[in-house]
Amino acid sequence: MGTLSIPKFFSDEAKILLKAREDCIAIHHSDIRAAGNEVEIAVRRWLERMLPDVVSVGHGHIIDQESNISLQLDCILRDKRHLPTLFTAADGTEYTPFDSVYAIGEIKSTYYKSSKYIQDFSNKLKAIDSNLKRNIVENTAYGGIKDDSVLHHILLGSSEPYLNQLFTFMLFVDSGDATTDEIAEIYRTTQDDYLPDITVFLNGCHVIKAAIESNAIKIYKYHKQAPTEVTWKIIPAPKIENSEATSEGMHLGFLYYCLLNHIRESHLEGPNPTEYLRDLLVVSKSKIIPIDPQQSNAGQTR
């Protein structure tokens, strides 16, 4: 029997995304938007293939029970078991119920400083937080089994206080003109609550909140849960001697780990279609026409 080299596997997977970018540039040349759209599709297909079967990968808008919608999102990870999309418009635009969403992300082929991608995504996250609502699912088994602990919360075994937290991420397939100084400045000057939980520059580094301890690094995958003294860290992939690992593969693998761990510890109760579509269910009692049951012919004579 053989063994699987996990670093080599993710290095090969990263090559697929890098090649998709190169092919798009070769086809579209200077059309950055068209090339970017093709890379988005390649990354969504990769996520669909890699993540558990319960996850559907799409894009478009999030919609809440009050019909508030988010801005356009490149990537929406949603629960396939309940209602992954409320509907899809004729032009292909997807509307995903907020209660079905595991995570949202932005995918870019190349980082360009002038495009302010991170700041723009931060503004989208702020708008979602301000304008869209969904009920928080508390983990009734958090901190140990109690009298009011729900069985499926116990069986899930999540270490998180809430089971439907929204995980947010950004992925740049190429670092472009990014520098560590510029990235640090963006993170210093952008409102902390609305930064993505993780930002990955595939051929450069990833940015996440972490605490450097004596012999380890403690990662906070939900950055809002980190203690106030914990700061953002820019983490390049280490060079490992005599390894098949590449920096692209290591960064892609770490993003996959964060998404997988988030999904494993999440529980989405799913949307109630009645709440989302109640505006269609309005009727006027005065306009209702009853249909009386047919008169029985029993006992009648000719």
The SS3 of residue 211 is strand
Average pLDDT, the chain: 90
Whose CA is closest to 267, among 143, 128, 140, 173?
140
pLDDT-based confidence at 169, cuts 50/70/90? very high
The SS3 of residue 286 is helix
Identity (one letter) of the amino acid at 102? Y
pLDDT-based confidence at 28, cuts 50/70/90? low
Its sign, for the CA torsion 220, 222, 225, 227, is positive
pLDDT at 161: 85
Whose CA is closest to 194, among 258, 123, 253, 265?
123
Token pair recorded at residue 114: 């002038």
Q: What is the pLDDT of residues 267-279, one digit of tens each?
A: 898 888 888 888 8
pLDDT at 296: 61
CA neighbours within 13 Å on the CB side: how many for 159? 6
Q: Is the pLDDT of residue 48 over 60?
A: yes
**Top-confidence residue, 240 or 65:** 65
Cα–Cα distances in angstroms (integers) from residue 108 to residues 21, 262, 295, in the given order = 10, 22, 69
Distance, CA of 244 to CA of 252 (rounded, Å):
14
Question: What does the domain layout of the chain look like in residue ranges?
Answer: 6-270
**Top-confidence residue, 178 or 300:** 178
Distance, CA of 44 to CA of 190 (rounded, Å):
27
Distance, CA of 226 to CA of 7 (rounded, Å):
29
* pTM confidence score: 0.89
Q: Is the pLDDT of residue 298 over 80?
A: no
pLDDT at 30: 61
Residue with tokens 């993710």: 10
Distance, CA of 301 to CA of 31 (rounded, Å):
85
| Region of residue 30 (left: phi > 0; alpha: psi -120 to 50; beta: else) | alpha
| Region of residue 74 (left: phi > 0; alpha: psi -120 to 50; beta: else) | alpha
pLDDT-based confidence at 282, cuts 50/70/90? confident
Q: Minimum mean pLDDT among 26-35, 96-105, 190-199, 248-257: which range?
A: 26-35
CA neighbours within 13 Å on the CB side: how many for 179? 4
Q: Is the pLDDT of residue 36 over 80?
A: no
Average pLDDT over residues 165-176: 96
Contact 11, 246 (CB under 8 A): yes
165: which DSSP letter? P
Tell me the percentage of the chain whose pLDDT exceeds 90.
61
Contact 263, 102 (CB under 8 A): yes
150: which DSSP letter? -
Q: What is the pLDDT of residues 187-196, one digit of tens each?
A: 999 999 999 9
Determine how many CB atoms are found less than 10 A away from the CB of residue 1.
2
Bridge partner list, 167: 103
Bridge partner list, 207: 199, 234
**Top-confidence residue, 98 or 215:** 98
Average pLDDT over residues 16-29: 85
Instruction: Provide CB contacts within 8 A for 17, sequence distance 6+.
Output: 39, 42, 43, 46, 173, 202, 252
pLDDT at 280: 85
pLDDT-based confidence at 69, cuts 50/70/90? very high
Q: What is the pLDDT of residues 207-242, one digit of tens each?
A: 999 999 888 899 999 999 999 999 999 999 877 777
pLDDT-based confidence at 31, cuts 50/70/90? low
